[in-house]
Chains A and B, each alone.
Chain A
Amino acid sequence: MINSISTDDFSQMKDIRTLCTLIFGVAVMLFFGMAYPHHLHYQEQFQLFLFDSDYVWGIVRLPGGVADLLGRFCTQFFLYAWVGAFIIGFLLACIQLFTLRLVNWGRLYGLSFLPSCLLWLFLLDENALLGGVWSVLLTLLASWIYGKLPKGLIRGILLVVAVPVLYWIAGPISIVFFLLQAPTPRLNAKYYGVFVLWVAMLVVAAQYLTVPAGSLWGGIHYHRYPTESATLLWGASLSAFVLAFLARVCRKWVDVPCKLVVTLSSFAVVVMAMGGVAWKNANFKAEKTMQYDFMACHQQWNRIIDAINTEKPNNQIGVTVQNLALAMRGMLPQRMFDYNQNGLLGLLPAVQRDATTPMPTAEAFYQLGMVNVAQRTVFEAQESILDFQKSGRCYKRLAQTNLINGNYEVARKYLTALQKTIFYSEWADQTMALLGDEKAINGHPEYGRLRKMAYKDDFYFSDQATPTMLEDLYNRNKDNSLAYQYMMAAFMLTGDRDSFMKYAPTNR
């Protein structure tokens, strides 16, 4: 299947093609690093990669598990957006290189970028998983290696072995490996035999694996939504086969010596066109929302205020974060009406059953000292992650709330898990030392303060915080400046003039 490009052609074009690949990789990296960094943070916070044998086994035991594992491993680095952007750029550049080696593309050189560009589009979706990209890469890598093998019996045997092994490594995307063997004339009998093997394997696997049978054909973990089919991912991988097939069919027209300008033009046309499509399809509105959530998560209050002064948020997460930042800087009652508001729902939105929207609200609950409510909100958000993964951000917060509440053994569970990560282990080690140390916790600037601020008299909470709850919180501890600001803001938003006047600064 894989034709060797002549040495002369290769040497002529090698440097320029390497440069094109490099340019493409850098372009992808710049896009994700500069225009889409918070999508990467979003991805990171919905998984928790553990250096733990049980965790690894739980992933690799399913078809596509190795690709999934590699995807999860890489995604943990998305905590630092530029590292994540580099990883994506590198992977897409590698995929382009392996696509390039499938056939002699000749004057259609630019089309070798198409699968990578489609994957770029795929990754615009914050719920598209990097394991899918790894599946394509591993499939193309296997095809390239297989193409290097000398023809003969061993090659035939390896094909039979490679199909199930690759299926287990990369999942159903690996069908592309099988398809890529199609144009080789002598393989016909084996070819259909291998196809039967592939189908039989899936039918058998469906009897033993606790996954929906359909996911064995469509992919278990290419997309966070179990019911969502990763159309662009499949498009990208199948395009590698279709384009390579077309290049072979049209060999006489394609495989001719071409000038540098043709190569560059085809590269420029494809990459710029697809780059334009990517830009047009990028969800910058979601990126902005994710930015607010990211800043709240990292308690970047001044940065939030700078951001809201540049552009006033007009969605629920943005308004929630805006109000929290104003309160953290002691400006909420004075300046809240300089910005958009959404009634009480903009202050402390009702707890929703999804993984995203409750997180900024949970941050507000936590900072206010409503520790149990924050704990529940974070727990529910984590449980709502659609692909059943866990979250480093949530584990961290759950360890904190349990520590504040004195549930040290539960906190220890979360911290033990976080100790098995790269980026949370140091924090987990430090926090582990606090467990059971009442003096240290009470003296801690954050945990000690929140212990003092927290409710002592129990009441039932459902989904929506009320002004009365904030009033109780404030009356419980008059030093709780945040509770005071939220309470006053709530009185203003509900038009409760009497209560507002009761607590107005002149009457305090």
Chain B
Amino acid sequence: MNKFLYALLSIVLLAACTSETVSDARQEAAQPQIYPDYNGVTVPVNIAPLCFGMADEKVLCVDAVITDSHGNDLHCQGEESVDFDIDDWHELLDQNRGDSLRVTVSAKYEDGWHTYLPFSIYVSPDSIDYGICYRLIEPGYEVWSKMGIYERDLSSFDERALIENTQFEGCVNCHSFNRGNPADMSLHIRGAHGATLLRHGNGPFEAYNTKTDQTLGLCVYPYWHPSGRYVAYSTNSTSQLFHSAGHNRVEVFDTASDLQVYDVEKNELLLSPILKQDSVYETFPVFSADGRSLYFCAARALPEKSLALDSIHYNLCRVDFNPETGTFGTRIDTIVAAGTQGKSVSFPRPSYDGRFLCYTLSDYGQFSIWHHEADLWLLDLSTGESKPMAAANSKDTESFHNWSTNSRWMVLSSRRDDGLYTRPYFCHVDAKGVVGKAFMLPQRNPRKFYRERFMSFNVPDFIIAPTEFDGNKASRIINDESRKDFGVRK
């Protein structure tokens, strides 16, 4: 139905605008200011059309001609935004793998047409995964309204709800896949029907109670072991406080947190005393690409009842993990000592080829989405050197992120557009760690879409195929009181 509406809308827009010929245009000496900013971006060959409009809103009509070195062109015109034909777009990109496209934009204002200097879009031969999965939620404080988990096909504009909280009482979060493969999936439900839904090896979903008498609480922040046998979790006693002045709104912090690994096959949590120290907050565990290390963030715990939240600085740490025996090493290495620079690491994500690890760096704490200064940094695991991902970062928040399965693309959460609503961006990272300019998740009419959607894209993560998630079946499992308890290895 949505497709039909868009088709109808397109016809109306075409009728209103396509008869326009760009004539007597004033040639501008600058490149156009467009929204979203796709000027000079590197895109995967299978990405959906990069529709855009002019950055200012006084434009009456926008016209774009994309040309390539083979003499092909793609032309589109629209009132608010150009909306390229999706088949023509994919054909053009396919013909230009590893090459550049040249985009010439003309815009009609009250005083007539203006034509700008062309800009380039580089088409990487590296493809991107099928899609992304994310939670849509209003960027609020403690109470939630409508929310859900959704998947989006990156080669088109199709979005599908996997499950929404209209189907049960509670909230959904912590969706996680094993390297983007929905055959191994974890989904956490909070509220009256709290549970963790786990699917292993494309089997049926089971609802678990992840709280045990030997752990702090429910298991959160899941990360799958590459073998699919283990899931690393943290347990966090989390609190919130609210800023009374300035642009910051919320401070989310832990008053205690530990790590553990769940053995999916044996239904038991693997605990280690060095990962559950009272004097340390441990959180955000992730397995290395080879599955033999566990990276995580750790900070010295605050004294009880202290609210010196800006003194909590998380370092990036690592401990050995033996997947054969399910045992941990006895020594914790500090990989990035952010605390010594008065900074804090969150959301470590190793690339699947084992070359890099991307993390978020903010001034303090671990809930970086509410930190305007938060940026992404790239750690070269072969040299141990970190550098900011300048081309992907902005003046505002960059927070959660993850790698595509070929480790050449990253999806990242950014609040650069309005300082509050999180949107997914993508950037290319080549084998040498050179980061391309980030570009926004394409939409048919990006300004209208993003301005009118009062939702943040929360925890966007790649998926290699549609999730095959039956929301109605899942909601029946959630609404059923039956839960399987996590065991603990003795």
Contact = CB atoms under 8 A, between A and B. Distances in A.
Whether A associates with B in a native complex is: yes
Contacts of A61: 1
Contact of A383 (B140, B241, B243, B248): B140
Contact of B145 (A372, A383, A455): A383
B471 A459 contact: no
Given A210-B161, A407-B418, A455 B5 contact: no
Central interface residue in B140, B143, B419, by most chain A CB within 10 Å: B143
Central interface residue in B141, B142, B244, B451, by most chain A CB within 10 Å: B244
B420 A416 contact: no
Contact of B245 (A210, A458, A462): A458
A353 B191 CA distance: 14
A379 B417 contact: no
A455 B166 contact: no
Nearest to A381: B143
B166 A388 contact: yes
Interface in A446-463: 454-462
A460 B251 CA distance: 9
Interface string A201-231: 0000011101111000000000000110000
Nearest to A52: B452
B83 to A, nearest CB: 16
Contacts of A454: 245
Nearest to B138: A383
B280 to A, nearest CB: 23
A406 B244 CA distance: 15
B418 A211 contact: no
Contact of B244 (A53, A54, A206, A373): A373
A425 interface: no
B1 A210 contact: no
A457 B244 CA distance: 8
Contacts of B242: 372-373, 376, 460-462
Interface in A401-450: 405-407, 409-410, 412-413, 416-417
Nearest to A411: B418
A413 B164 contact: no
Contacts, number: 114
B168 interface: yes
B146 interface: yes
B243 A413 contact: no
Contacts of B148: 210
B163 interface: yes
Interface in B466-484: 471-472, 475
B247 interface: yes
Nearest to A373: B244
A400 to B, nearest CB: 15
Contacts of B2: 57
Given A206-B472, A410-B419, 19 more contacts: A54-B452, A207-B472, A210-B167, A379-B140, A380-B140, A383-B140, A383-B145, A384-B143, A407-B247, A413-B451, A413-B452, A416-B452, A417-B454, A457-B245, A459-B244, A460-B244, A461-B243, A461-B244, A469-B244
11 contacts: A54-B452, A213-B472, A382-B145, A407-B247, A409-B420, A416-B452, A417-B454, A454-B245, A455-B244, A459-B245, A460-B243
Interface of B: 1-2, 5, 138, 140-146, 148, 161, 163-164, 166-169, 241-249, 251, 307, 309, 417-421, 451-452, 454, 471-472, 475
